[in-house]
Amino acid sequence: MQITSSDILLVIDVQNDFCPGGALAVPDGDAVIPVIHRLAPLFDHILLTQDWHSPHHASFAHAHAGKQAFETVAVSYGEQTLWPDHCVQGTRGAEFHPDLSLPQAELVLRKGFRPHIDSYSAFFENDRTTPTGLGGYLRERNISRVFAVGLAFDYCVAYSALDARTLGFEAVVIRDASRAIDLNGSATRMEAELARAGVPVINSTQLLD
Ligand code: VGL
Ligand code: ZN
């Protein structure tokens, strides 16, 4: 697989709260960082996303009386998983992991900042219809293929790759540059959805060798 100037590396949510010790720690989450650092020099374009929630965000369990984290609730746009408070705007947990060093990144896209709607994908909020603007940004800059890495494989990474396909971009997920939360089989389920959508899940060695 040859990387060209119409490819972009989409680095999803490599933030303290998704790394060991964080509020919604993804097992081994910080292990993605060295892999991302090895991949970065291959790309002319890099974009970072940052989960960026208001303090009483509707995706937080504490905002729903009687509900615990990792339960689900019915909301206007369907079913929403409830999470521990994480990536609250302006907090240390919302900062990028201190080891992540990608000063060449062209854009930091914040998402999940609207109090009443969650946003896993970098392209659409969880109603799957409200755009973040990223599709237009990439199109205007002649990007045609997105390589998704970061946290978490089975939520923000997979949804971003699936929505990229929906918008007509090619999308690839780099498995070893990502780690999963794996809630109730979500990792296996998302692998199947990616396959169905025509999103290859590759290993970084396929690009680096
Ligand atoms: C994420 C759950 C809640 C993610 C963000 O980055 O995958 N997952 N917020
Ligand atoms: Zn979140």
Q: Is 121 exposed, middle or buried (0-12, 13-18, 19+ CB in 10 A)?
A: buried
Active site residue 156: yes
What does pTM read for this prediction?
0.97
User: Tokens 């007509």 map to which residue?
Assistant: 168
DSSP 13: -
H helix or E strand, kind and range, residue 170: strand 170-179
What pLDDT is attached to residue 130?
A: 94
Rounded Cα gap, residues 109 and 106, in angstroms: 10
For ligand 1, which residues put their CB under 6 angstroms from it? 13, 18, 51, 83, 120, 151-152, 155-156
Rounded Cα gap, residues 126 and 204, in angstroms: 29
Ligand 1, residue 156: give the atom nearest the CA. Answer: 7
Choose the catalytic residue: 7, 111, 118, 163: 111
Rounded Cα gap, residues 9 and 206, in angstroms: 15
What is the mean pLDDT of each successive set of 10 residues along the chain, which is 209 residues long? 97 98 98 98 98 97 96 94 98 98 98 95 95 98 98 98 98 98 96 98 96
Q: Which tokens sit at 101?
A: 């060093």
What pLDDT is attached to residue 209?
A: 82
**Rg of the Cα atoms in the chain:** 16
Active site residue 87: no
Active site residue 111: yes
